[in-house]
Structure 1
């Protein structure tokens, strides 16, 4: 393959991923007109149209999608091999792209990065906060952080945090109007705050468990929110019961701003894991990050 052909393919990949000639040109450090010319040259050479252009976005045609299916793994493999060359350097270097939920980023990833980055000035980390179930291969992330139960079986998964627990809480003002629930069945008489999951668009069903009994309770109430912090605030303001991560409310419980109920129905479950494709060629920088995040409790 000639060098100019590889340049053309890289230009096409950037436009397809960014879905915009403007953003792709900024990413590649070139002009929009030059990039458009490069893509047209590739389409002319191949004899097929690779991209469909509209006033709002750019998307791959069927031929373009077929090319992407071959191109993305090939270029990822090349990038992995290049990154692995950092082992020959005294100082690990390179860019690592991660995706994680806001909770995992705040509680686990950022504390690790604060310790790691000052010691490795040649390592760059790009962290994308996203609660959805991101396809890290398609989006070209090096790794993602999610709960173990949501990770595909063909991924390598490394535990990076302790077990977690959910907590059902309400404000004292709320319990002045409603009795404390003694069992999950009592929740039907309560105003429950609903969390809409960004990954699926569904309402989160409260997963309660005691001994051998497991229940999935669909919360019922007048308020639905797609953000955990706002859900917690609604509970603090007395609008209903919320089912949230335990570590996010313990200070409020200790201060008396929230009251915890059904605690015996909220057992611990496996926490966050770093996951990445099994075929990934791990660079020295990536291995250092994995070890910095690995949970040893």
Structure 2
């Protein structure tokens, strides 16, 4: 896969994140900082890909409201292509809200109802000739997230519009991991999940990332990358299971770490890196993100 254009399909919204340096529990009321930044899995992946020199095109739903106009303007300032967005007149711009403490993510709510309601309207550029058609499908790399409905993901798994692309897929969260089940047996799919998500997809628990990656292949996946926080990560294909250790860093944020890992791995392979080298590059990028060494 060469560098350059890549489609990012899925959630593009506002992230509202409250962070505190205190250890938090249920009912905690502590001082901290609250930020609003462009977010969503597809957006986080696209922003990282852009930092690595690729040209991300966003396919998503954004409302024709003030929040949507601000989000599109922010995406364009970041160098992302917004020409193919579905802008809805009656659906509000989606939003994600999370609270993080010194002990990690405390709670989060993802309101991606507008993306779900828009359905296959976000894919029109792939069928109407702007980016491809059923007769001449898109042939480049595609990053897809699990914020789409299970029905639409199942449709994508069988759609001729995706028959010739290099499809990279990640769940939006553990709660949406099983939406990806229809994509597991698709030969061109590379799956990016954490240990918990791998267990949900395989309907069993795993002790570590290498066993989880192997388990996903047993479930039909062609290629799977599994991360496990600060522990060993793994990349499994039919030929081998490769592993790498993430750098040990002080964790200052967790939201977006998996998205950063996915994007960094895609970009590394676009540059020609392979195997353990690309895996290590992606882990280093994710570690820099959680350490707060990369601006968002």
TM class, shorter-chain normalised?
A: under 0.3
TM-score by length of 1: 0.25
TM-score by length of 2: 0.25
Name the larger-Rg structure: 1
Q: Which has the higher contact order (CA 8 A, sep 6+)?
A: 1
